[in-house]
């Protein structure tokens, strides 16, 4: 699955849920004002999340579907690469209600996760 150059806005739940698929590329999207989180990772084999703006969501910008992020006994297993994303924390301007990420650091310790939230400069680099 590939989602590029899209506005994912105002959903009653998470903006994008990645579930039970082999790979996804999410690039140059605006994911904002969703009642749940921006992106939910669940039962996922691989995701490439780059150059997205993920702001003003009710939940976390990006969350793994596992504890402590969600009340579940499930765990996220997969490989996530991400860079160049703008994901403000809850206390920052346009921040996500429950923070920038949840579970991504935990997943990073036991899986192959490389994730940076570097903001792009005015040239888009």
**pLDDT tens digits for range 41-76:** 887 667 889 999 999 999 999 987 776 677 777 777
Identify the pLDDT of residue 44. 64
Q: How many whole angstroms separate alpha carbon 45 and alpha carbon 98?
A: 25
Identify the pLDDT of residue 113. 42
Q: How many whole angstroms separate alpha carbon 30 and alpha carbon 9?
A: 8
Identify the pLDDT of residue 21. 65
**pLDDT tens digits for range 4-47:** 999 999 999 999 998 876 689 999 999 999 999 999 888 766 78
| Cα 61–Cα 66–Cα 68 angle in degrees, nearest 5 | 75
Question: Concatenated DSSP letters for 31-77?
Answer: EES-SS-SEEEES-SEEEEES-EEES-SS-SEEESSTTTSS-S----
Per the prediction, the chain carries an average pLDDT of 80
Instruction: For residue 98, give Cα distances in angstroms to 28, 70, 84, 110.
Output: 22, 12, 21, 23
Alpha-carbon Rg for the chain, nearest whole angstrom, is 13
Domain boundaries, given as residue ranges, for the chain: 2-115
């Amino acid at each position: 699955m590939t989602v590029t150059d899209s506005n994912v806005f105002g959903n009653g739940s998470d903006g994008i849920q990645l579930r039970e698929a082999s790979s996804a590329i999410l690039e140059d999207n605006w994911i904002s004002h969703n009642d749940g989180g921006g992106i939910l990772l669940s039962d996922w084999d691989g995701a490439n999340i780059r150059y997205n703006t993920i702001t003003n969501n009710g939940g976390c910008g990006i969350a793994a579907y596992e504890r402590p992020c969600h009340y579940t006994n499930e765990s996220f297993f997969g490989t996530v690469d991400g860079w160049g994303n703008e994901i403000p924390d809850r206390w920052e301007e346009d921040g996500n209600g429950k923070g920038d990420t949840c579970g991504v650091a935990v997943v990073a310790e036991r899986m192959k996760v490389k994730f940076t939230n570097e903001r792009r400069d005015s040239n888009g680099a």
